[in-house]
Amino acid sequence: MELVEKMLGGDERSLSRLITMVERETPEVPQIMRAICSHTGQSYCIGVTGPPGSGKSTLVDRMTAIAREKGLLVGIIAVDPTSPFTGGAVLGDRIRMQQHYLDSGVFIRSMATRGSLGGLPRSARRVAKLLDAFGKDIIILETVGVGQTELDVIEAADTTVVVLFPGGGDAIQTMKAGLMEIADIFVVNKADRQGADQVVAELEAMLMLNPKNSDWRVPVLTAEALNNVGIDEIFQAVESHRSMLESTGQLSTQRREQLKKELLQAIEQGVSERLYRLMEKDETLIKLSEKVGRGEIDPYSTAVDILSNQAMLKDWLSKLNNRR
Amino acid sequence: MELVEKMLGGDERSLSRLITMVERETPEVPQIMRAICSHTGQSYCIGVTGPPGSGKSTLVDRMTAIAREKGLLVGIIAVDPTSPFTGGAVLGDRIRMQQHYLDSGVFIRSMATRGSLGGLPRSARRVAKLLDAFGKDIIILETVGVGQTELDVIEAADTTVVVLFPGGGDAIQTMKAGLMEIADIFVVNKADRQGADQVVAELEAMLMLNPKNSDWRVPVLTAEALNNVGIDEIFQAVESHRSMLESTGQLSTQRREQLKKELLQAIEQGVSERLYRLMEKDETLIKLSEKVGRGEIDPYSTAVDILSNQAMLKDWLSKLNNRR
């Protein structure tokens, strides 16, 4: 593919166009992914996540500055929760990163949620692969929010930094639960605010009770991203984690399992999509669906009945490998 | 089923046991759902959602008190994001609701996320149906967080109340995006805090630009749930919304479409589960998966190849209707 060749040759406009194709899931996507496959696996992916208001974007901005000082090329994928309602990614935070927009060593892309279940993690991972093939040394996956979609996005990261902040009140209480097992590094940002020590102490207590990886003690760092305090330490912690993953062989295991998982998910996705299209046209199902809609029969036991109806299932399945 | 009979007769212990079965997805679940089907559709379901720290639980507590004063029976399903790590729902907020624990007219159940993609919305909806069949007049679905899972849970509600608060800073900025199209009523809670007026003004401006339903103007209410201020108005707004849905016929349309959707999802779920089990045993796939894991081929184009491989797909599909 000419576009892929140009991108691999360093053309940023081609990269942008390929990203757009991946986001829109155009028919060329499998071909693109195949073409770049042998050029991937060189970059290191850092996930940065945490609740809204924790100052993730500023932190990413500061970490980018350090990476650039070291001469590393950086790609940033910022996943913003948004919707058809607002019509695009929330760009407020991005404005802070303007300095990097003028730096050709940094490529920034915001991606919107758009409500498509499962679609975003898939797209974000593919975009990360494009940035990898493009030659970025570091890819930062920044996700806003703490839902399942965000956790699925961050799963593709080699090292995950979870950013919290004091004053979130019971926010912290609820949020750290979902974030606890994905964190390789905790950062308590806005550490000049009251209550930072307590958040640190709470996190350390929880981590002590529940060690995740015998080769890695999850550090709890403090930072004031806005004042550029504590950023070096975060960067060093990421590098330590990376060294550990590399020396223990965990990095390759982790990446191998991730790729296998992506294969299974892609197959499942394909089958589901075809099945949905089929179901929408099947007359028996449409009739059953109307009965369910009227409340005459319930959806769950009806689904079980259908799934154990050999004849019906076979009929569907025989049609399943037709693309439309 | 004896347990269902006892539950329908008003036995709360049977209800609790049925809920546990639904949460664990035991084999009896389809039978349970079938048995209660004709007893559902009487209760009204209110969804309450919003970012952590917005004071949802307190609000639910206050709304419950009003419903009880009116003699209505209330069921509350509180969905807390949690994980195998903490091992259970975050109960902090629940403590505030202790007064209702002693009231037999209120049934409260906390449900945990447990990381199972898609599993929680399914379980929560089924638990809501149990509470419906049990005879609750009002069911409140409270979800913490703003991820896709939470949005899927709240989809089953007849009226959705979105709770925001001032001082979340850019939290508000990002969050309202995802919540905008599901809100039937906005509540700016903690309205005594600085910045409440601004949040209200912003929301109203956005709502004016993007009206959702020509029969309903989404109100933006203020409240101080902790001080019991503004709760009557919220309850009245829910009742107005309900009247509108009933008089325009939207309530039955909305519920009919929701049931149909649940049928399709249940079928898709069943097929996916079987397919996953199959894929784990298929030798050709295991070999391809190893190649993907080694980075020799990429997962996405490999999935497309597999899905267009007629022979392979047929072989799988012929095995698909075996339960194990």
- Residue of B209 and B161 predicted with greater confidence: B161
- Same domain, yes or no, for A92 and A148? yes
- Same domain, yes or no, for A33 and A108? no
pLDDT for residue B93: 43
Contact B93 A170 (CB under 8 A): yes
**Which region among B127-131, B153-157, B217-221, B308-312 has the lowest average model confidence (pLDDT)?**
B308-312
Which chain B residue has the Cα nearest residue A289? Answer: B260
Q: Is A257 inside a domain boundary?
A: no
- Same domain, yes or no, for B175 and B89? yes
- Same domain, yes or no, for B182 and B235? yes
How far apart are the C-alpha atoms of A21 and A291, rounded to whole Å?
A: 41
pLDDT for residue A265: 83
The partner residue sitting opposite B144, judged by closest CB among A53, A83, A174, is A174
pLDDT for residue A118: 55
Expressed in percent and rounded to 5, the helix, strand and coil fractions of chain B are 55, 15, 30
Lateral strand order in the sheet of B106-112: B106-112, B74-80, B138-144, B44-50, B159-164, B185-188, B220-222
Q: Is A253 inside a domain boundary?
A: no
CA distance B318 to chain A (A): 7
The partner residue sitting opposite A292, judged by closest CB among B149, B259, B272, is B259
- Same domain, yes or no, for A201 and A73? yes
Q: Is B253 inside a domain boundary?
A: no
Q: Which chain B residues have a beta carbon less than 8 Å from that of A293?
A: 256-257, 259-260
Q: Which chain A residues have a beta carbon less than 8 Å from that of B318?
A: 314, 317
Other Cβ atoms closer than 10 A to A92? 12
CATH number at residue A233: 3.40.50.300
Mean pLDDT of chain A: 82
Q: Is B255 inside a domain boundary?
A: no
pLDDT for residue A35: 94
Q: Is A256 inside a domain boundary?
A: no
CA distance A99 to chain B (A): 20
The partner residue sitting opposite B145, judged by closest CB among A84, A147, A270, is A147
3-state secondary structure of B212: coil
Q: Which chain B residues have a beta carbon less than 8 Å from that of A177?
A: 80-83, 85-86, 90
Domain C-terminal end among B224, B248, B272: B248
The partner residue sitting opposite A53, judged by closest CB among B169, B210, B288, is B169
- Same domain, yes or no, for A57 and A181? yes
- Same domain, yes or no, for A58 and A81? yes
Q: Which residue type, as a one-letter code, is found at position B4?
A: V
Q: Is the pLDDT of residue A300 over 80?
A: yes
pLDDT for residue A175: 52
Q: Are A52 and A80 in contact (CB under 8 A)?
A: no
Which chain A residue has the Cα nearest residue B22? Answer: A300
Q: Which chain B residues have a beta carbon less than 8 Å from that of A150?
A: 147
The partner residue sitting opposite B267, judged by closest CB among A169, A270, A279, is A279
Q: Which chain B residues have a beta carbon less than 8 Å from that of A303?
A: 30, 263, 266-267, 269-270
Q: Is B138 inside a domain boundary?
A: yes
CA distance B284 to chain A (A): 13
Contact A81 B300 (CB under 8 A): no
The partner residue sitting opposite A276, judged by closest CB among B152, B169, B268, is B268
Domain C-terminal end among A213, A248, A283: A248
How far apart are the C-alpha atoms of A49 and A163, rounded to whole Å?
A: 6
- Same domain, yes or no, for A191 and A300? no
Instruction: Quote the percentage of chain B above a pLDDT of 90.
Output: 42
Region A117-145: mean pLDDT is: 86
- Same domain, yes or no, for B46 and B184? yes
- What distances in angstroms separate CA B295 from CA A33, A253, B299, one per listed residue? 12, 12, 9
- Residue of A267 and A17 predicted with greater confidence: A17
- Same domain, yes or no, for B276 and B220? no
**Structural domain that includes position B11:** 1-39
Which range is most confident: A146-155, A218-227, B85-94, B298-307?
A: A218-227
Q: How many folded domains does chain B comprise?
A: 3
CA distance A25 to chain B (A): 11
How far apart are the C-alpha atoms of B188 and B59, rounded to whole Å?
A: 11
Q: Which chain B residues have a beta carbon less than 8 Å from that of A285?
A: 267
**Which region among A59-63, A106-110, B99-103 has the lowest average model confidence (pLDDT)?**
B99-103
CA distance A13 to chain B (A): 23
Q: Is B300 inside a domain boundary?
A: yes
Interval B7-64: pLDDT, tens: 999 999 999 999 999 988 888 999 999 999 999 999 999 999 887 778 888 899 999 9
ipTM of the complex: 0.78
Mean pLDDT of chain B: 82
Q: Is B254 inside a domain boundary?
A: no
- Same domain, yes or no, for A128 and A19? no
Contact A299 B257 (CB under 8 A): no
- Same domain, yes or no, for A189 and A102? yes
Q: Is the pLDDT of residue A262 over 60?
A: yes
> Closest Cα to residue A139, out of A216, A72, A213?
A72
Which range is most confident: A76-90, A233-247, B180-194?
A: A233-247
